């Protein structure tokens, strides 16, 4: 196991991409958290590769993150238009072949619209945009993006959305539970009415993970909530790819 790189070392201008791992970060029109996600990837020690929605080429990345935002203004439905971009066609194919993909917030919505993950996100039950530090329990550490956490670990990372209420039919929810595919659950109060307090899920293979809260906003002690609880997503994938 490689030692976790020091976040401050990279922040102060230390080497990035030292393990030669390339993680793609997709920009759709209206994506907002792309540069934050690139920073989180760099802090973890990998190389962040910007990907443009109109391209089909994945530029030989080892994994892909779909960041948050309001792609295409959330017109029609959140994620509904982005899902049809040329890049997504390639990502869908690659994800099915096992490439690790993480969808955060709007990225999660794109993954459900792409049917890489089941269910859908509806408007929050209180109808407001909500931005807060949200406590979660990591329910599954067997995914590509959560191996660095311990099972049942409680973490706090920012939540910020208006369409964050996870829903699926009972059969799907039962299946997710039975297969251990509920990856994250809300603690200390369900912020939006998500069924069974689900904050994030994974596919059967564990390479595709989607969640509404934002790990990329919790990677440096100085900014955001002051916690680094989200860094584990990025170190998890880095270690998996280095050890692969």
Partner 1 sequence: MTLDTVKHAAETPDTKLPWAELGLKEDEYARVREILGRRPTGAELAMYSVMWSEHCSYKSSKVHLRQFGEKAPQSDAMLVGIGENAGVVDVGHGYAVTFKVESHNHPSYVEPYQGAATGVGGIVRDIIAMGARPVAVVDPLRMGAADHPDTKRVLPGVVAGIGGYGNCLGLPNIGGELVFDACYQGNPLVNAGAIGVMRHEDIHLAKASGPGNKVILYGARTGGDGIGGASILASETFDDAKPSKRPAVQVGDPFQEKLLIECTLEAFAEKLVVGIQDLGAAGLSCATSELASNGTGGMRVELDDVPLRDSTLTPEEILMSESQERMCAVVEPEKVERFLAICEKWDVTATVVGEVTDGDRLEIFWHGEKIVDLDPRTVAHDGPVYERPYARPSWQDALQADDANKLPRPATSAELREQVIQLVASPNQASKSWVTDQYDRFVQGNTVLAQPEDSGMVRIDEQTGLGVALANDGNGRYSKLDPYAGAQLALAEAYRNVAATGARPLAVSDCLNFGSPEDTDVMWQFAETTRGLADACLTLGTPVTGGNVSLYNQTGEAAIHPTPVVSVLGVIDDVSRRTPIAFAEEGQLLYLLGETREEFGGSAWSQVVHDHLGGLPPRVDLERERLLAEILISASRDGMIDAAHDLSDGGLVQAVAESCLRGGKGARLVVPDGLDGFTFLFSESAGRAVVAVPRSEELRFTDMCGARGLPVTRIGVVDGDAVELQGEFSIELTELRAAYEQTLPGLFG
Question: Where along the sequence are the contacts to partner 1 (CB under 8 A)?
Answer: 11-13, 29-30, 32-33, 35-36, 39-40, 54, 69-70, 72-75, 128-132, 158, 160, 162, 214, 216-217, 219-220, 222-225
Query: Nearer to partner 1 by C-beta: 36 or 139?
Result: 36
Q: How far is CA 56 from CA 35, 38, 59, 173, in A?
A: 21, 20, 9, 33
Q: What is the DSSP string of 170-205?
A: HHHHHHHHHTT-EEEEE-SS-SS--GGGEEEEE-TT
Q: What backbone torsions phi and psi does residue 240 show, to the nearest 5 degrees?
A: -60, -45
Q: How far is the CB of 23 from partner 1 (least distance, A)?
A: 16
Cα separation, 218 vs 230, whole angstroms: 5
Task: Check if 105 is active-site.
Answer: yes
User: How many CB atoms are closer than 10 A to CB 50?
Assistant: 13
| 40 token code pair | 């989180």
Known active-site residue 115: no
Which position among 47, 139, 214, 220 bears the catalytic label? Answer: 214
In angstroms, what CA-CA distances link 146 with 82, 165, 200, 243?
26, 22, 11, 15
Catalytic residue of the set 139, 216, 217, 220: 216
Give whichever of 162 and 176 is closer to partner 1, judged by the CB atom: 162
Selecting among 105, 113, 139, 220, the annotated active-site residue is 105
Beta bridge partners of 202: 209
- Taking the complex as a whole, how short is the minimal distance between the CB of residue 18 and partner 1, in angstroms? 18
Question: Which CB atom, from 117 or from 121, has the smaller least distance to partner 1?
Answer: 121
Closest approach, Cβ 132 to partner 1, in A, equals 6
CB of 49 to partner 1, least distance (A): 18
Is 217 designated active site?
Answer: no
Q: Which residues are catalytic?
A: 105, 214, 216
């Amino acid at each position: 196991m490689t030692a976790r790189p020091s976040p401050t070392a990279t922040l102060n201008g230390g080497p990035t991409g030292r393990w030669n791992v390339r993680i793609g970060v997709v920009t759709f029109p209206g994506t907002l958290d792309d540069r934050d996600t690139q920073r989180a990837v760099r802090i973890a020690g990998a190389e962040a590769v910007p990907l443009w929605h109109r391209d089909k080429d994945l530029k030989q990345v080892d994994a892909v993150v779909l960041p948050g935002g309001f792609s295409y203004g959330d017109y029609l439905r959140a994620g509904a238009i982005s899902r049809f971009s040329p890049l997504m066609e390639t990502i869908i194919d690659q994800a099915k072949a096992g490439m690790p993909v993480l969808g955060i917030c709007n990225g999660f919505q794109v993954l459900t619209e792409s049917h890489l993950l089941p269910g859908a996100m509806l408007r929050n039950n209180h109808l407001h945009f909500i931005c807060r530090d949200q406590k979660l329990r990591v329910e599954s550490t067997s995914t590509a993006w959560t191996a660095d956490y311990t099972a049942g670990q409680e973490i706090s990372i920012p939540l910020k959305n208006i369409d964050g209420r996870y829903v699926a039919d009972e059969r799907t929810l039962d299946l997710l539970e039975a297969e251990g595919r509920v990856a994250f659950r809300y603690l200390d109060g369900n912020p939006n009415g998500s069924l069974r307090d689900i904050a994030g899920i994974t596919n059967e293979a564990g390479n595709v993970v989607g969640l509404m809260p934002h790990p990329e906003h919790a990677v440096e002690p100085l900014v955001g909530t002051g916690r680094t609880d989200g860094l584990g997503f990025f170190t998890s994938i880095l270690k998996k790819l280095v050890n692969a």
